[in-house]
Structure 1
Amino acid sequence: MKLVLCLMAAGLQLCLQTHVVAAESLLSRSFIEKAVMEAKATVDSAYKYSRSTSVERVKRNAAKPSDVLRLLKQPVGATRAAVRAADYMDNTVKLIRASLFKRQKRSINATDLISEDDLRLIAMLTGCSAQRRFLSCRDTANTDKYRTLSGVCNNRNNTRWGSSNTPFTRWLPVEYQDRISLPKGWDPEKKVNKDILPLVREVSNRILNTTKMVNDPLYTHLVTIFGQWTDHDLTFTPHSPVIRSFSNGIDCDKSCERTEPCFPIDIPRDDLRFSQHSEECMPFFRSAAACGSGNTGHLFGASTVRQQMNSLTAFIDVGQVYGSDDARARRLRDLSNDKGLLRVNEEYTDNGRELLPFTPMGANMCATRGRISNDSNAQEVPCFLAGDERSNENIALTSLHTLMLREHNRLARALAELNPQWNGERTYQEARKIMGGYFQVLTFRDYLLHIVGPDFIARQLSTYPGYDESIDPSISNVFATAAYRFAHLMVQPFMFRLDEEYREHSDFPSVLLHTAFFTPWRVVFEGGLDPILRGLVGRKAKLNTQEHMMSDELRDRLFKFSSELALDLASLNLQRGRDHGLPGYNTWRKFCRLSQPKNLNQLAKVLKNKNLAKNLLKLYRKPDNIDVWIGGVAEPFVRGGRVGPLFACLISTQFQRIRQGDRLWWEKEGVFTKQQRDSLRHTSLARIICDNTGIAEVPKQPFQYQSRSNFTRCEDIPAFNLSAWREDIR
């Protein structure tokens, strides 16, 4: 009856778009249970096939770049359970819809023929409802003192705000091709604002292609890698775990057809990949949908459009060291004693210093030494294990992970000496809490100034305004998918390795970036951390200029380990933005109260570059259609920063919300004592490097490039003062 009234009052089209009308139940519980069982079997089979296919190729040392990316982006642990539940529910609804279509013999949206009670039952049986249920914090211990690993219970009234495995927030309405879930460009002939969107690979070829690198005159390569480090504390968007379509069984690696979850990147006909290798597309897998989004979102009070999931917390809590769920955190801890330490490698050390533990053998995407060195007898090692799945992505990132493992253990040992009455749990939590304070200070005091510039710092990120429980700190989709990918254009084509004199290392020279992806053996067998960290603080970042945007190491050799054609990071970024339904460039400029150029002259004025504006409009026709990522990275820098005004606005807004919406921010009264806050204010990244390596001298401000003559000896850099953490025994 409700459906009939909807059709009479609003018409078929509106009913199809809103998906909020439900008929009286046509379904029995047994019918629903049978559909759920069938959907689970289909999903489980696809997961098993996809995993076994990728693992087998990796074991045979025949992994494709797409295999590596997929394994890297695989949801694991609690995230995998959340993604699987969403797939169970989506496929159950599709099975029931198909059955009802057949039963009704008419083309109306069958989701509207499923009652809301039935949908709630499906959500319960598939586990989807559990992903969005309100959590009480009454039984969670010490939430006033220590963070939960998942970030839940930070906000007392909205306990999931900022927590892991929840959807990214949206600051603007989504723009999908069908207004519900299909990416822009899914149908390549479908016009947007009366024009066809260009192929993302064509944008990469014509706008980002460069053969010359320009060094940044002010900042070290550490700025670039620290950007990746902070991103891996805040955002991780899992892919769909499957590589073949649920609906027709098509393998996304073997077809250029667009069928969920396959959204392949088409190769232009004039591209060398097409002409020389007959490559028609690059495999691309859609980000996994979150429970409580899309056709069934109204059940959860959520959006009726597809949303993507952030598997990490939105807080600066060093989750990339500790993990974002209890199970992973336990795997990372050394529970063989009661000292509060993190696990370390049991097979190798770095000149006596600790290394990350290895992952269990299995799908070891890091066993590539033999391929790169062409030595079939080369000794291989597994991937390292850390709080974030991406710790092996490149050796510089691996080095930061290892450095912070050592710093946690250094703090834990020092705290145990100060407070021998503490047990291992107390020591672990206090060291973890200090580490969180470290990176809140380093990010806001030392890092963001170099990115967004002093004007945006003064406007949004200067003096701490206090905690505001009404602010949702959750990561926005545009931040994760576009704005915070700015540093991809600051990556040098080399991973620099330097000796004690900060000269090119004679035994372990600098290597091309694509030969440093997923190569933990370079850390184990090629000199350890010290040469890599010297390379980060002793060499300059790449400067993003409008003429020299992205290194071909990322644009044409991403995850290239063999003769297999590699991925293109620029194309991946652009396709991901379309996958997520991000609005276009001008829509975001309007959000930030910036001008919205409508023609060539206006765009040329914004970009301060008429030739670049012409090239963009040849591709996009209209400024409104420009993908937000390419528009953002094409803008000239704000004063004193390394992004343009659009990304400075979006990045500043996100970090403003992260800080104000964090009940356990280091400056908030009662989180640390006054004396502890005073110590944290003097946190020094240079000191952390000195305390945990054999490096004898560093720049006092490691983000700022200086000549070697201005470096500071480690003994002249004050140690971090832990005395405020001493507890009197009464």
Structure 2
Amino acid sequence: MHNAVELIQRSLQKGLLQKAFLNATDLISKEDLQFIADGTGCSTRHRAPSCKTTPNLGRFRTASSVCNNRKNTRLGSSNTPFTRWLPAEYQDQISLPKGWDPEHRINGHLLPLVRDVSNRILQTANSDVESDPLYSHLVTIFGQWTDHDLTFTPHSPSIRSYSSGIDCDKSCENTEPCFPIDIPKKDPRFGRKSEKCIPFFRSAAACGSGNFGHTVRQQINSLTAFLDVGQVYGAEDSKACGAEDINARFSLRDLTSDKGRLRVNKQYTDNSRELLPFSSMVTNMCATRKRITNDQYAKEVPCFVAGDERSNEHGGLTSLHTLFMREHNRLVDRLADLNPHWDGERLYQEGRKIMGGYLQVLTFRDYLLHIVGPDFIARYLSTYPGYDEDVDPSISNVFATAAYRFAHLMVQPIMFRLNETYEEHPDFPSPLLHKAFFTPWRIVFEGGVDPIIRGLVGHKAKLNTQDHMMSDELRDRLFKFTSDLALDLASLNMQRGRDHGLPGYNKWRKFCGLTQPKNKKQLSKVLKNKKLAQQLLKLYKTPDNIDVWLGGVAEPFVPGGRVGPLFACLIATQFQRIRQGDRLWWENKGVFTEAQRDSLRNTSLARIICDNTGITNVPAQPFQYSTRSSYTECWDIPAFDLSPWKENIE
């Protein structure tokens, strides 16, 4: 709809509106606007679905989470706009990102190029990476895993400019939807090469926003706002595929039997254990084996398919997807033994519901404490307050686009693979990260997921320090074997924040009740680093203009955490709302029985690893780094008690 109105606007501007500064929608009748809305599907996106005919609403989630909130039925559901905790700030107050016109001043100053900021502030050679003394690399990848349950922002479906047909991959011109990242002169990576920009596509506008009736551009979250393991099951009916869905070809469920299981790979196994199914898509960005190994005879494999389309990004993420797919199938097999009268639909829904409880417990009990620290847990995330239908759980734009991208600075430059004794694998050595992107073939042909999971729990996370922020594996070699030009994740993050109209650093500090530094002395005090403050002000001139993602990751950690006070506030606020605004939260009365809640309280990530891999000993607390001498044998880790799910029939 946005694109259609843009085209009409341009047409009118060439004719009737040449001398008037009017919006195209001012001259389109309500009937025509409704016709466009109906034709593009925007009408159905805005229409609140009825929950009266949806079965089992009190017991199970819908795939898209519509009807979680019965008063506002789309609240927190997939394919709805991100919420705004502060008003958007666009260059034209409606849609154009800050930096679209490089000569346009913000707060009296020109914005620096994001690639220049990346080079001067974040650059970290692999050899300079510092490791975290407390936490394992699993903390980093689990953060990405939960992010992929909560946020995904689709970019424009077109790769060409709407007005000129310019290919965004091959042009350095700012023309919707192209917003390329300019490369500064004397760039240490590009030097005098011909490249002038890194391609960048704007995020898609939500239906009816951005230049439509003067409404401010909003972006879409294609996932649900709830911790519901959507990265395993999908966030749309067509992908999750309930029993009534006839589109089984794209289903994640195994509909060939009535056992409630998820589909698995039919061609390969991992030492007799299940692997994710392959994609049936013709285009295959995972055909990287020949390029990475320089072996023209190497066999390629398709991408894996999971509930989230990013499951192939790297081996660590793929391994977690595989682990939890197996756990679902293990659960439903045991539930079928306990309740032989349950059909496949009941088994699937009960298994999915338990998995949701798992993720909620692991995230709140084990994970968030290490990130935001005990003070913010006590303030925002301690005792469960109960469900409140007036709390909006929707994911905020600043959380998705800035705050929850903090873990990009905790990523090690190597995807570690360890053998049975937690030493470097002799047959399958650990690849550099840029050689682990989109490589499902490494799991198929190079030892499966066990060596990778051992590497996650048996190696330390990268430590984000103000001197060594982001590894060059992510800054200079991101997706090297799947893109024409390797990308820079730091630049992408800052450009995305500008694309989404995020206010600057100080606006968010004020939102969180923190001081707003106005000069070098005050910024030095906030950052506890005079040199870094000086570098930032040399680039931005004023703290007000610092990109919020950069300002957040530059702050020193809160006590016991791995983010500064700004991101601790934003992350804790978001999870507080996710929990309190979820009618089907595991602790909410009536969702699970008291006995089932007791089982869920004892959820163990270590046990899930033991139950679904060939690994025989693990840290009892896998997020905490420990030496192998303190690992626990799997037989000493209590099994998850499924007996409360046994249904007694008269």
Query: What interval of TM-score do these two structures reach, taking the shorter chain for normalisation?
Result: over 0.9
Q: Give how far 1:518 is off.
A: 0.3
For the residues of structure 2 that align with 1:398 and 1:635, how far apart are their CA atoms?
31
Q: Does structure 1 retain, via aligned residues, the 8 Å contact 2:25–2:213? A: no
Return 448-457 or 116-125, whichever deviates more: 116-125
* 1:696 corresponds to: 616
1:650 aligns with 2:570: yes
Q: Is the partner of 1:217 in helix, strand or coil?
A: strand
Q: Give how far 1:564 is off.
A: 4.7
* 2:80 corresponds to: 166
Q: Does structure 1 retain, via aligned residues, the 8 Å contact 2:285–2:438? A: yes
* 1:113 corresponds to: 27
For the residues of structure 2 that align with 1:456 and 1:233, how far apart are their CA atoms?
22
**Compared with structure 1, are the counterparts of its residues 426 and 446 closer, same or farther at alpha carbon in structure 2 (3 Å cutoff)?**
same
Question: Please, which of 324, 327, 351 is the counterpart of residue 238 of structure 2?
Answer: 327
* 1:50 corresponds to: none
Q: Does structure 2 retain, via aligned residues, the 8 Å contact 1:384–1:391? A: yes
Q: Give how far 1:292 is off.
A: 2.6
Q: Does structure 2 retain, via aligned residues, the 8 Å contact 1:245–1:259? A: yes
Q: Give how far 1:441 is off.
A: 0.3
* 1:459 corresponds to: 379
Q: Give how far 1:565 is off.
A: 3.5
1:598 aligns with 2:511: no
For the residues of structure 2 that align with 1:222 and 1:334, how far apart are their CA atoms?
29
Aligned residues: 638
Q: Is the partner of 1:541 in helix, strand or coil?
A: strand
Q: Give how far 1:276 is off.
A: 3.6
Among the aligned pairs, what percent are the same residue?
A: 75
Q: Does structure 2 retain, via aligned residues, the 8 Å contact 1:339–1:412? A: yes
* 1:396 corresponds to: 316
Which amino acid in the other structure matches residue 466 of structure 2? Q
* 1:720 corresponds to: 640
For the residues of structure 2 that align with 1:583 and 1:485, how far apart are their CA atoms?
16
Q: Deviations over 1:377-410 (max 9, x none)?
A: 1011000010000000000000000000100000
Q: RMSD value over aligned CA atoms? A: 1.3
* 2:503 corresponds to: 583
Q: Deviations over 1:416-437 (max 9, x none)?
A: 0000000000000000000000
* 1:354 corresponds to: 274
Question: Please, which of 139, 155, 170 is the counterpart of residue 53 of structure 2?
Answer: 139
Which amino acid in the other structure matches residue 655 of structure 1? F
Q: Give how far 1:100 is off.
A: 7.0
Q: Give how far 1:217 is off.
A: 0.2
Q: Give how far 1:121 is off.
A: 3.2
Q: Give how far 1:548 is off.
A: 0.6
Q: Does structure 2 retain, via aligned residues, the 8 Å contact 1:320–1:387? A: yes
Question: Please, which of 75, 92, 100 is the counterpart of residue 178 of structure 1?
Answer: 92
Q: Does structure 2 retain, via aligned residues, the 8 Å contact 1:119–1:296? A: no
* 1:680 corresponds to: 600
1:486 aligns with 2:406: yes
Q: Does structure 1 retain, via aligned residues, the 8 Å contact 2:178–2:199? A: yes
Q: Is the partner of 1:511 in helix, strand or coil?
A: coil
Q: Is the partner of 2:133 in helix, strand or coil?
A: strand
Which amino acid in the other structure matches residue 231 of structure 2? Q
For the residues of structure 2 that align with 1:126 and 1:563, how far apart are their CA atoms?
31
* 1:706 corresponds to: 626
* 2:532 corresponds to: 612
* 1:294 corresponds to: 210
Q: Give how far 1:361 is off.
A: 4.5
Q: Is the partner of 1:216 in helix, strand or coil?
A: strand
* 1:565 corresponds to: 485
For the residues of structure 2 that align with 1:97 and 1:269, how far apart are their CA atoms?
34
* 1:130 corresponds to: 44
Q: Does structure 2 retain, via aligned residues, the 8 Å contact 1:495–1:532? A: yes
1:197 aligns with 2:111: yes
1:282 aligns with 2:198: yes
Return 268-277 or 703-712, whichever deviates more: 268-277
Q: Does structure 1 retain, via aligned residues, the 8 Å contact 2:417–2:425? A: yes
* 1:266 corresponds to: 182
For the residues of structure 2 that align with 1:131 and 1:689, how far apart are their CA atoms?
40
- In the TM superposition, 1:404-483 aligns within 5 A as 404-483=324-403
Q: Is the partner of 1:577 in helix, strand or coil?
A: helix
For the residues of structure 1 that align with 2:9 and 2:529, how far apart are their CA atoms?
54
**Compared with structure 1, are the counterparts of its residues 439 and 507 closer, same or farther at alpha carbon in structure 2 (3 Å cutoff)?**
same
* 2:224 corresponds to: 313
For the residues of structure 2 that align with 1:485 and 1:107, how far apart are their CA atoms?
42
1:233 aligns with 2:233: no
For the residues of structure 1 that align with 2:9 and 2:527, how far apart are their CA atoms?
51
For the residues of structure 2 that align with 1:483 and 1:438, how far apart are their CA atoms?
24
1:251 aligns with 2:167: yes
Q: Does structure 2 retain, via aligned residues, the 8 Å contact 1:101–1:108? A: no
Q: Does structure 2 retain, via aligned residues, the 8 Å contact 1:273–1:279? A: no
Q: Deviations over 1:508-535 (max 9, x none)?
A: 1111000000000000000001100000
Q: Is the partner of 1:294 in helix, strand or coil?
A: coil
For the residues of structure 1 that align with 2:400 and 2:298, how far apart are their CA atoms?
38
Q: Does structure 2 retain, via aligned residues, the 8 Å contact 1:268–1:274? A: no
Q: Is the partner of 2:212 in helix, strand or coil?
A: helix
Q: Does structure 2 retain, via aligned residues, the 8 Å contact 1:359–1:384? A: yes
For the residues of structure 2 that align with 1:128 and 1:443, how far apart are their CA atoms?
35
For the residues of structure 2 that align with 1:103 and 1:601, how far apart are their CA atoms?
54
* 2:247 corresponds to: none
Q: Deviations over 1:552-584 (max 9, x none)?
A: 000000001289531000000000000000000
Which amino acid in the other structure matches residue 329 of structure 1? A
Q: Does structure 2 retain, via aligned residues, the 8 Å contact 1:181–1:294? A: yes
Q: Deviations over 1:157-195 (max 9, x none)?
A: 100000000000000000000000000000001000010
Q: Deviations over 1:86-126 (max 9, x none)?
A: 34xx3245326623762466323132222334323321233
* 1:534 corresponds to: 454
Which amino acid in the other structure matches residue 706 of structure 1? S
Q: Is the partner of 2:124 in helix, strand or coil?
A: coil
**Compared with structure 1, are the counterparts of its residues 217 and 412 closer, same or farther at alpha carbon in structure 2 (3 Å cutoff)?**
same
For the residues of structure 1 that align with 2:129 and 2:425, how far apart are their CA atoms?
22
Q: Does structure 2 retain, via aligned residues, the 8 Å contact 1:679–1:720? A: yes
**Compared with structure 1, are the counterparts of its residues 383 and 105 closer, same or farther at alpha carbon in structure 2 (3 Å cutoff)?**
closer
Which amino acid in the other structure matches residue 119 of structure 1? L
Unaligned runs of 5+ in 2: 242-250
* 2:245 corresponds to: none
Q: Is the partner of 2:135 in helix, strand or coil?
A: strand
Q: Deviations over 1:610-642 (max 9, x none)?
A: 000000000000000000000000000000000
Which amino acid in the other structure matches residue 89 of structure 2? E
Which amino acid in the other structure matches residue 264 of structure 1? P
* 1:99 corresponds to: 12
Which amino acid in the other structure matches residue 65 of structure 2? G
Which amino acid in the other structure matches residue 479 of structure 2? F
Q: Does structure 2 retain, via aligned residues, the 8 Å contact 1:267–1:273? A: no
TM-score normalised according to structure 1 size: 0.86
Return 213-222 or 287-296, whichever deviates more: 287-296
Q: Is the partner of 2:134 in helix, strand or coil?
A: strand
Q: Is the partner of 1:611 in helix, strand or coil?
A: helix
**Compared with structure 1, are the counterparts of its residues 100 and 243 closer, same or farther at alpha carbon in structure 2 (3 Å cutoff)?**
closer
Q: Does structure 1 retain, via aligned residues, the 8 Å contact 2:316–2:415? A: yes
**Compared with structure 1, are the counterparts of its residues 596 and 201 closer, same or farther at alpha carbon in structure 2 (3 Å cutoff)?**
same
Q: Does structure 2 retain, via aligned residues, the 8 Å contact 1:366–1:383? A: yes
For the residues of structure 2 that align with 1:225 and 1:563, how far apart are their CA atoms?
23
For the residues of structure 2 that align with 1:413 and 1:155, how far apart are their CA atoms?
31
Which amino acid in the other structure matches residue 286 of structure 2? C
Q: Does structure 2 retain, via aligned residues, the 8 Å contact 1:371–1:562? A: no
For the residues of structure 2 that align with 1:101 and 1:615, how far apart are their CA atoms?
46
Q: Give how far 1:297 is off.
A: 5.8
Which amino acid in the other structure matches residue 636 of structure 1? P
